[in-house]
Amino acid sequence: MTLMKWALGAVVVLSILVNSPIGSGAQEVKTHVPEFKLKTPEGKEMGLKDHLAKGPVLLNFWTTWCKPCQKELPELQKIYDKYREKGFTFFAISEDDQRTQARVRPTVRSRKYEFPVLMDPDHKVGNLFGVRSYPTNVLVGPDGKIAMNSQGYRKGDEKKMEAAIVKLLKESAQVPSNDEDASEESEGGDES
Amino acid sequence: MRLPLLRLCCFAGLFSILASSAHSEDIVTQARQELELWHDSDLDESVADERFDTFLGYGNFSLLATFLIHQPTNAARLDPSDYGESFEGVRKRTLEARVGPAVAQLGEVYTTLARGVGLQIIENQVVDFDNGIDGFRTAWEDPRFRVELLAGRNSFGTREAALKAGSVGWTGLSMLDLALHGVQVDSSADAAGRARGRDRIGGGELNYRTAWGDLHASYFTRRYDPPAEGDSPPDGHGAYGAMSVYYGPAAVTLEGIDYRRYDWAYTIPPTGVRQHTTTLLNRTSHTVTFDPDDQRGYQAELLVNLFDGDLEVIANRAAGEDHDGELPYFEDYGQVQWTVLPSLIATGRAAETEETVDEGAKVVFFERITLGGNIYWSFADTWTLELDFETQKLQELDLATAEFTFPLQARDNILTVNLFHAPWLAVAVTHEWTNDPGETKDGWTFAEVNLQIMDRHQINIGGGSFRGGQLCSGGICRPLAPFTGARVNWQTTF
C-alpha cells in the first residue's frame, strides 16, 4: 500500500511538471540550462554560453575508470571531427575526483582525444545536470534548452546522437545545404 | 505519508508556477526527479525515496534546492542511497549571486582545496551522500589571481563542527599555478570523544603543466588544539604529489602520498591506490582499509596506445605501509585491450594484491590473485553482447596463528552478461559465486533492465541478489549496496 502511495505521489508530481512549460514536449518549450565555467587540464577556462552562440553543445560526463565511457568516447570523437567546423561543440566533462584526477590528462594524451576536456572534480556541474552514473550525455540546443539527456552507452547510441546534432545544426542554420546528404545518411542509421 | 506528499506537490507546484512565468530569456530553470524503491527480502526492509532537484536562475542570481522524501523502514539496516534517517522536506538549498569574476553563495556550500588534501566538501558523494557546510562561500577569480573564503557549520548530523577556510592562488606563465590554503575547525566533540577544540590546517599546492608533462604537489600540516595526551607526533601532516610524462602514445604517471594523523571529516585525500572498474578488484582495493592517520606509499602507472588505439596496455604498481614500516600493501595490475575487429573488442587483466591489516583484535594478512576478461561484440548494427568475467583467489590469515600456504583458500567469481539494443534498451545479468567458508551464501544472481525513454527518462528495474560494490552493467557504472530483493529507479530530467 505504501508503494502504491509513492507511485501515486510520483505521478502527481510528474503530472504537475509535465503540464508545465518546463516539462512539456521536446519540440515545445524546453528547459534553459544553467551557465557554467570549467577548466581544461591545461588550465584554460571554458564556458557553455560562449559556445552555444555557435551551435549545439554536447556535454558528456565521464570518468577514467568507467568502462562504457571508454567505449563511447572514440565514437564521440568521430562526431566531433565531423561537425566541429559546422558549429558543433563537444565538452567531455571529467567527473574524476581527487583519487583519479591525475589519470585524466594521461588518458586523453595517450588515446589522442582532440575534443575539449573539462575538469569537474567536485561534481559541481555534474550535479547541476543531475548526473548520477557514467556516462551521461546532455545535448543542449543553440537556444540553451536540453534536447536530449541519456545515461549509459549502447553501441549505436551515437547514431541517434548524431541525428539529433544534425537536426539542431539545421535548425540553427549552421549546416550548409550540401550537408543534406550527411544528415540523411546519419538519420538513416549509417555509421560515419 | 499524506503530509510529505502534500509538501512535495506544493514544492513542485511552486517551482512549476515560477517556471511557467519564465517568459524572459533571462530566467533559467532546470529540474530533475529520481524515484527509487527498494525491498530487501532477506532483511524484510523497504526504502522509498523521492528526490526532486531544482535550479532557478534569474540574472545574476540562482537558487538550487533539493526536496527529499526518504523513508527507510530501518536506515541502519538498509540505506542504499546513504541519505541517513527518515527525512521529509527541503534537504538542501543554496542561493548564489554571480557578478563578473565574483561569486557569493549562501546555504549549503561546497569546495575542494588542493585535490582534497586541504579540504573537500563534496556534494552527492557516494559515501554519506553529502558533507555540506551550511554557511557562506565567496570567491573571486580572474585568469591570474583567485581568492576564496568559506565559513559555516556542518549541515547534517549533529552540527558539531564550525569551519572557516581561506585560499589565495596565482597563475603565471600560463603553466604555473601556486596557491596557499588555510582551514580552521572548531568542534564541540569528535568521533573519538576528544574535547572541544580548535584544529588548524594550513598548506599550499603547486601545479606545473607543459606539453610533455604535469606536476602537482601539495603539503599541509594539521595542528591540534588542544593536543591529545600521548599523541605522537603532536601535529599531523598530509602530502600528495603527482607527476605525468607523455611521449607519443605513452603516458607514465607517478603518485606519492604521506599522511600522518590526518584523518578528519572534511579531507578526502588521494589514496595512491588504483581505482578499479571491476567489482572484485574494486571491492578488495586497499582504499577500503586506507588509514589517513598513518599511511605512506606510491603508485606508478604506464598507459600505452598502439596501432591507432587498437591495442592498449596498462601496467600499474601501488605499494605502501605505515610509518613504522608495518602493515605493508602492494598491488601489481596489468591490462591489455585489443580491438580485434571494429565490432569486436577483447580485454584481459590480471592483478596480485597483498596487504596486512590491523583489525584491532588481530593483524590479518590478505593475498589475492585476480584474473579477468571482457568480450564486447557488436552485431546487426544496433545490438551488442558483452561478457565480463572476473575470478579472484584469496587467502585471509591471522599470521600469529597460521602460516601462509598454497593453494589459496577460497575463490570468488563474477560473470556479467549484457545485451544492448541502441538507443534504448540494456539487459544485464550478473552472477557471483564463491567457496569462501566465511560467507553465508555461495551465490548471488542479479538481473536488471535499463530503459531510455523519450530522451529524458531513465528507468532501471532490478531483482535478485547482489553482494555489493562497484558494478558496471547495462552500460553504466555505479556503486550498489548489497541486497536481496527488488529495486526500481526512475530518473527524469525536465
Q: Judge: B35–A10 Cβ closer than 8 Å, yes or no.
A: yes
Q: Judge: A65–B277 Cβ closer than 8 Å, yes or no.
A: yes
Distance in Å, alpha carbon of A100 to nearest chain B alpha carbon:
7
Closest residue in chain B to residue A40, using alpha carbons only: B209
Task: For residue B247, list its beta bridge partners.
Answer: B250
With cell 566541429, the residue in question is A84
Mutation to test the B interface, candidates A20, A35, A71, most B Cβ within 10 Å: A20
Q: Judge: A101–B115 Cβ closer than 8 Å, yes or no.
A: yes
Distance in Å, alpha carbon of A85 to nearest chain B alpha carbon:
23
For residues B374 and A71, what is the distance between their CA atoms, to the nearest angstrom?
12
Q: Pick from B22-31, B143-152, B227-236, B265-274 the range whose average pLDDT is largest.
A: B143-152
Closest residue in chain A to residue B216, using alpha carbons only: A102
pLDDT band at A163 (very low <50, low <70, confident <90, very high): very high
pLDDT at A99 over 80: yes
Kindly report the number of other CB atoms within 10 A of residue B359's CB atom.
9
pLDDT band at B493 (very low <50, low <70, confident <90, very high): confident
pLDDT band at A6 (very low <50, low <70, confident <90, very high): low
pLDDT in tens, A46-90: 989 889 888 999 999 999 989 899 999 999 999 999 999 999 999
Q: Judge: B477–A109 Cβ closer than 8 Å, yes or no.
A: no
- Take residue B477 and report the three cell numbers written for it: 557504472
Mean pLDDT, to the nearest integer, of B342-367? 92
pLDDT at B263 over 70: yes
Count A/B contacts: CB-CB distance under 8 Å: 272
Mean pLDDT, to the nearest integer, of B55-73? 89
The count of C-alpha atoms lying within 13 angstroms of the C-alpha of B131, restricted to the half-sphere facing its C-beta, is 20
Mutation to test the A interface, candidates B17, B21, B32, most A Cβ within 10 Å: B32
pLDDT at A101 over 70: yes
Q: Pick from A38-47, B161-170, B225-234 the range whose average pLDDT is largest.
A: B161-170
Mean pLDDT, to the nearest integer, of B53-75? 88
Q: Judge: A9–B5 Cβ closer than 8 Å, yes or no.
A: yes
Residue A13 has its nearest CB partner, among B37, B52, B423, at B52
Kindly report the number of other CB atoms within 10 A of residue B484's CB atom.
18
Q: Judge: A128–B305 Cβ closer than 8 Å, yes or no.
A: no
Q: Pick from B120-129, B223-232, B471-480 the range whose average pLDDT is largest.
A: B471-480
pLDDT in tens, B413-469: 999 999 999 988 999 999 999 998 888 889 999 999 999 988 889 999 999 999 988
Cβ-Cβ contacts under 8 Å, A157 against chain B: 422-423
pLDDT at B142 over 70: yes
pLDDT at B277 over 90: no
Mean pLDDT, to the nearest integer, of B373-387? 94
Q: What is the pLDDT of residue B4?
A: 55
Residue A22 has its nearest CB partner, among B19, B123, B454, at B19
The count of C-alpha atoms lying within 13 angstroms of the C-alpha of B177, restricted to the half-sphere facing its C-beta, is 21
Closest residue in chain A to residue B273, using alpha carbons only: A99
Residue A99 has its nearest CB partner, among B5, B271, B494, at B271
Please provide the DSSP assignment of B246-293 as one string: EETTEEEEEEEEEEES---TT-----SS----SHHHHHT-GGGG--TT
Which stretch of A86-95, B123-132, B252-261, B316-325 has the lowest confidence by average pLDDT? B123-132
Q: Judge: B309–A100 Cβ closer than 8 Å, yes or no.
A: no
Cβ-Cβ contacts under 8 Å, A42 against chain B: 209
Q: What is the pLDDT of residue A23?
A: 40
Q: Judge: B16–A16 Cβ closer than 8 Å, yes or no.
A: yes
Cβ-Cβ contacts under 8 Å, A122 against chain B: 110-112, 120, 122-123
Mean pLDDT, to the nearest integer, of B203-207? 96
Q: Judge: B5–A122 Cβ closer than 8 Å, yes or no.
A: no
Q: Pick from A86-90, B12-16, B51-55 the range whose average pLDDT is largest.
A: A86-90
ipTM of this model? 0.89
pLDDT band at A165 (very low <50, low <70, confident <90, very high): very high
For residues B352 and B332, what is the distance between their CA atoms, to the nearest angstrom?
5
Distance in Å, alpha carbon of B195 to nearest chain A alpha carbon:
31
Distance in Å, alpha carbon of B352 to nearest chain A alpha carbon:
19
Residue A34 has its nearest CB partner, among B8, B55, B492, at B55
Mean pLDDT, to the nearest integer, of B361-378? 93
Q: Judge: A157–B423 Cβ closer than 8 Å, yes or no.
A: yes
Mean pLDDT, to the nearest integer, of B282-297? 90
Which stretch of A8-17, B247-256, B267-276, B300-309 has the lowest confidence by average pLDDT? A8-17
Spatial neighbors of A1 by CB under 8 A, at least 6 apart, are: none
Q: What is the pLDDT of residue B361?
A: 81
For residues B7 and B436, what is the distance between their CA atoms, to the nearest angstrom?
48
Distance in Å, alpha carbon of A182 to nearest chain B alpha carbon:
18
Distance in Å, alpha carbon of A14 to nearest chain B alpha carbon:
8
Residue B255 has its nearest CB partner, among A102, A109, A122, at A102
Mutation to test the A interface, candidates B7, B30, B140, most A Cβ within 10 Å: B30
- Take residue B213 and report the three cell numbers written for it: 608533462
Please provide the DSSP assignment of B324-347 as one string: TS-S-EEEEEEEEEEEEETTEEEE
Which stretch of A112-126, B15-29, B268-282 has the lowest confidence by average pLDDT? B15-29
- The closest alpha carbon to B474, from A92, A68, A64, belongs to A68
pLDDT at B166 over 50: yes
Mutation to test the A interface, candidates B455, B473, B478, B488, most A Cβ within 10 Å: B455
Q: What is the pLDDT of residue A1?
A: 44
Q: Judge: B8–A9 Cβ closer than 8 Å, yes or no.
A: yes
Cβ-Cβ contacts under 8 Å, A32 against chain B: 22, 25, 27-30, 57
φ and ψ at B114, to 5 degrees?
Answer: 55, 55
Cβ-Cβ contacts under 8 Å, B25 against chain A: 32, 144
Q: Is A34 or A105 the better-scoring residue by pLDDT?
A: A105
For residues B189 and B193, what is the distance between their CA atoms, to the nearest angstrom?
6
Q: Judge: A5–B1 Cβ closer than 8 Å, yes or no.
A: yes
For residues B41 and B187, what is the distance between their CA atoms, to the nearest angstrom?
41
- Helices A67-83, A157-171: crossing angle, 10 deg rounding: 30
Per-chain mean pLDDT for chain A: 79
Q: What is the pLDDT of residue A187?
A: 42
pLDDT at B483 over 90: no
Cβ atoms of A65 and B277 within 8 Å: the answer is: yes
Mutation to test the B interface, candidates A22, A75, A155, most B Cβ within 10 Å: A155
Spatial neighbors of B41 by CB under 8 A, at least 6 apart, are: B484, B485
- The closest alpha carbon to B97, from B51, B49, B64, B131, belongs to B64
pLDDT at A185 over 50: no
Q: What is the pLDDT of residue A53?
A: 85
pLDDT band at A178 (very low <50, low <70, confident <90, very high): very low
Cβ-Cβ contacts under 8 Å, A156 against chain B: 378, 381-384, 420, 422-423
Kindly report the number of other CB atoms within 10 A of residue A171's CB atom.
15
Q: What is the pLDDT of residue B359?
A: 84
Cβ atoms of B182 and B165 within 8 Å: the answer is: yes
Cβ-Cβ contacts under 8 Å, B255 against chain A: 102
Spatial neighbors of B64 by CB under 8 A, at least 6 apart, are: A128, B53, B54, B55, B92, B93, B94, B96, B107
Cβ atoms of B459 and B436 within 8 Å: the answer is: no
Cβ-Cβ contacts under 8 Å, A100 against chain B: 275
Spatial neighbors of B257 by CB under 8 A, at least 6 apart, are: B239, B240, B269, B270, B271, B272, B295, B296, B297, B298, B320
Per-chain mean pLDDT for chain B: 87
Spatial neighbors of B45 by CB under 8 A, at least 6 apart, are: B39, B72, B73, B74, B77, B78
- The answer, yes or no, to whether the previous bond of B234 is cis (omega within 30 of 0) is no
What is the percent of chain B where pLDDT is above 70?
A: 90
Distance in Å, alpha carbon of A179 to nearest chain B alpha carbon:
23
